[in-house]
Amino acid sequence: MAILEVKNIHKSFGKEQVLKGIDLSLEKGEVLAIIGSSGSGKTTLLRCINFLERADKGEICVNSQVIFDAQREKKYTEAEIRRSRLNFGLVFQQFNLFPQYTVHRNLTLAAEMLEAKGLKGEDKKRVLSEIASRADKLLEQVGLSEKKGAYPVELSGGQQQRVAIARALMLSPQILCFDEPTSALDPELTGEVLRVIENLRGDDRTMIVVTHEMEFARKVATRVIFMADGVIEEEGDPEEVFTNPKSEKLRSFLSSSLEKF
């Protein structure tokens, strides 16, 4: 059974049609890499799935339940969208950590507001300490336990992105999305972030990674989608897509992104 189904998603900004009918479905535990040149619509697709943009047309289903249908007459309320969002986690290109909070607080803030709401006394204490220890574990997992009291500005870009990944995992989303997670990093820092993402595989964790790192996509993804001009031009397992591209567009994209100079 598919954990995520995206059906016929369209999105325009003004006159410009960015997504022209995207269909994809994802099984639990799959790691999907989305590649394509800038302007092909891959980030917009990810933002539609996370409701940072509303698709103009199409449907999004999680576990066979329709959580978004652009055709529905009643507009989606903020609360409905918020609930749907919790199926997903999103890691941004620019990390977007909260600068006024410590690393640890960055992780616990949202969880406390969701899970400790309305609780009092002992119950609240128990939930809060559970959240704190969950944050500790995740920071250990991304190798940043000793930075839990630091502020984001004191960390390198790679460390900030690892914190952002841990933060996205705090709410245990079913599907974890990455929007070009290493594009804002210095080349020598991309490795540590990609390794963390690679280590997240398994545990039946479903991931969608929009990326320019072809080697990474090839090694870590279970499936690759190549987007061009707002449509899925080609898709398949990584070996097939990278060694035996069928379309002319993918062939020229691959050759231009592999030859660096």
Residue pair 70/56 in contact by the 8 Å Cβ criterion: yes
88 vs 253, which CB is nearer to another protein?
88
Residue 226 beta carbon to another protein: minimum distance, rounded to whole angstroms: 26
Rounded distance between C-alpha atoms, residue 92 and residue 43, angstroms: 10
Phi and psi torsions of 195, nearest 5°: -65, -40
The answer to whether residue 78 forms part of the interface with another protein (CB under 8 A) is: yes
Residue 148 beta carbon to another protein: minimum distance, rounded to whole angstroms: 15
What residue has token string 């697709």?
45
Q: How far is CA 28 from CA 34, 87, 176, in A?
A: 17, 13, 11
Q: How many residues bind another protein (CB under 8 A)?
A: 27
Rounded distance between C-alpha atoms, residue 181 and residue 161, angstroms: 7
DSSP-derived 3-state class of residue 253: helix
Q: Name the helix (H) or strand (E) containing 225.
A: strand 223-228
87 vs 253, which CB is nearer to another protein?
87
64 vs 100, which CB is nearer to another protein?
100
Residue pair 50/177 in contact by the 8 Å Cβ criterion: yes
Rounded distance between C-alpha atoms, residue 115 and residue 122, angstroms: 14
1 vs 113, which CB is nearer to another protein?
113
Q: Which residues, numbered 88-147, are part of the site for another protein (CB under 8 A)?
A: 88-90, 92, 94, 96-100, 109-110, 113-114
Q: Which residues, numbered 146-205, are part of the site for another protein (CB under 8 A)?
A: 151-153, 167-168, 170-171
Q: Which residues, numbered 54-73, are part of the site for another protein (CB under 8 A)?
A: none
100 vs 243, which CB is nearer to another protein?
100
Residue 199: how many CB atoms within 10 A of its CB?
13
CA 186: distance to chain centroid?
20
What's the one-letter identity of residue 188?
Answer: E
Segment interacting with another protein (CB under 8 A) among 1-9, 31-39, 80-88, 251-259 = 80-88
The answer to whether residue 14 forms part of the interface with another protein (CB under 8 A) is: no
1 vs 153, which CB is nearer to another protein?
153
Residue 170 beta carbon to another protein: minimum distance, rounded to whole angstroms: 8
Query: Where on the chain is the footprint of another protein (CB under 8 A)?
Result: 50, 52, 78, 82, 85-86, 88-90, 92, 94, 96-100, 109-110, 113-114, 151-153, 167-168, 170-171
